[in-house]
Amino acid sequence: MKNILVIGSTGQIGSELTMKLRREIPGATVVAGYIPGAEPKGELLESGPAEIADVRNAAALADIVTRYQIDTIYNLAALLSAVAEKKPLLAWDIQINGLLDILEIAREKGCAVFTPSSIGSFGPETPHDGTPQDTIQRPRSMYGCTKVATELLSDYYFHKYGVDTRSVRFPGLISHVTLPGGGTTDYAVEVFYAAVKGEEFICPIAAGTYMDMMYMPDALKAAVDIMQADPDRLVHRNSFNIASMSFAPETLFDKIREYIPDLRVRYEVDPVRQAIADSWPDRMDDSCARAEWDWAPAFDLDTMARDMIAHLSLRFAHTR
Ligand code: AKB
């Protein structure tokens, strides 16, 4: 990884991944790709090059890859699960037609490609507890359909053309930097903002609904480590289960109350998000990632919650 293009650099993952790559990969040029209306700002804009990189404009993407001699593409353009249910055709266009163009560019220009998959690639028939690496993937959401197709297409380009595609199945990601936009797991981020601001939190997911979650520093480490892993050790490629914590909403709220006892929560379950959440794993088995590229998370529920509260309390100190 030397010349890297991050498509979706201003999104929840991209905004932090771009900065991590710029800080940690010696001598790398990391291009922050964005779409009009989601321009990079501040440190993200000032610390390196930025280019309009819309996955629906293949010619412009190919031009960026040529001009910067890109060798690695992080393709983070996606509509999250709840939004994708509202705009299924747009989700398919971005996530699959866009991916095909990127894979074609990668094939022609010799780039490695990371396109994340998700717990959303699983469905109701998937074993929910200890979800194996290789198992039934029959999602019923458009987001899930695009994630399964992403995994298959990425593996296809590896086996047929030797394109170096690799990926992980992200759990719900929790971060204090950039808010997620329209996912099923967003509640696990939003409740921290309500808690530090002293506001009541309306929870769209029912008590008792377990899902895998992960703190952003671990997710970023996974995205970097998988692309640097020894290819000879990789039995799998697209895509690895990775896990660090699994909880139901009430477990998270109880944890936050250890630090912010007056957190107030009311449940108003959103049927669309709930149906998606019910179909996703409760807890994935990530033993293949541990064995094939030494995946190991650093944060658990307690260390994540403490870090989130510390950062957000500083930012919103004036609001309570
Ligand atoms: C979503 O909820 O849609 C995402 C995901 C788990 O992929 N956060």
Task: For 233-253, write each residue's pLDDT tens digit.
Answer: 999 999 999 999 999 999 999
Task: For 126-176, write each residue's pLDDT tens digit.
Answer: 999 999 999 999 999 999 999 999 999 999 999 999 999 999 999 999 999
d(CA 221, CA 219): 5
Pairing mode, strands 168-170 and 117-118: parallel
Q: Does residue 263 have a pLDDT over 70?
A: yes
For the chain, the distance separating the N- and C-terminal CA atoms, rounded to the nearest angstrom, is: 44
DSSP 261-284: TT--EEE---HHHHHHHHHS-SEE
Does the beta carbon of 184 lie inside 6 Å of ligand 1?
Answer: yes
187 is catalytic: no
Q: Does residue 320 have a pLDDT over 70?
A: no
Does the beta carbon of 214 lie inside 6 Å of ligand 1?
Answer: no
Q: Which of 86, 117, 118 to mutate to test the pocket of ligand 1 (most atoms within 8 A of CB)?
A: 118
Catalytic residue among 34, 74, 143, 187: 143
Does the beta carbon of 118 lie inside 6 Å of ligand 1?
Answer: yes
- Percent above pLDDT 90 for the chain: 97
Confidence at 318, pLDDT banded by 50, 70, 90: confident
Distance from the CA of 125 to the center of ligand 1, in angstroms? 19
Residue 36 to residues 66, 72, 98, 198: CA-CA distances in angstroms? 21, 23, 16, 34
Confidence at 208, pLDDT banded by 50, 70, 90: very high
- pLDDT at residue number 204: 98
Contacts of 300 (CB under 8 A, 6+ apart): 244, 245
Distance from the CA of 181 to the center of ligand 1, in angstroms? 9
Contacts of 13 (CB under 8 A, 6+ apart): 76, 116, 170, 173, 216, 219, 220, 223
Q: Which of 79, 80, 187 to mutate to test the pocket of ligand 1 (most atoms within 8 A of CB)?
A: 80
Distance from the CA of 172 to the center of ligand 1, in angstroms? 5
Does the beta carbon of 80 lie inside 6 Å of ligand 1?
Answer: yes
Confidence at 181, pLDDT banded by 50, 70, 90: confident
Alpha helices (H) along 183-300: 187-197, 216-228, 249-257, 271-279, 287-293
SS3 category, 186: coil
Task: For 31-58, write each residue's pLDDT tens digit.
Answer: 999 999 999 999 999 999 999 999 999 9
Closest CA to 226 of 168, 147, 155: 168
- pLDDT at residue number 317: 84
When the pLDDT of each residue in the chain is averaged and rounded to a whole number, the result is: 97
Per-residue burial over 239-261, b if 16 or more Cβ lie within 10 Å, else e, is bbbbbbbbbbbeebbebbeebbe
Does the beta carbon of 119 lie inside 6 Å of ligand 1?
Answer: yes
SS3 category, 182: coil
d(CA 292, CA 302): 27
Enter the tokens of residue 173. 């990601």
Distance from the CA of 171 to the center of ligand 1, in angstroms? 7
Q: Does residue 180 have a pLDDT over 90?
A: no
Dihedral over alpha carbons 205, 211, 212, 216 (to 10 degrees): 0
Distance from the CA of 52 to the center of ligand 1, in angstroms? 25
Does the beta carbon of 120 lie inside 6 Å of ligand 1?
Answer: yes
Q: Does residue 273 have a pLDDT over 80?
A: yes
Task: For 72-128, write each residue's pLDDT tens digit.
Answer: 999 999 999 999 999 999 999 999 999 999 999 999 999 999 999 999 999 999 999
Atom of ligand 1 nearest to the CA of 180: 8
Closest CA to 180 of 273, 301, 59: 273
Q: Which of 12, 13, 76, 81 to mutate to test the pocket of ligand 1 (most atoms within 8 A of CB)?
A: 81
Does the beta carbon of 142 lie inside 6 Å of ligand 1?
Answer: no
- Percent above pLDDT 70 for the chain: 99
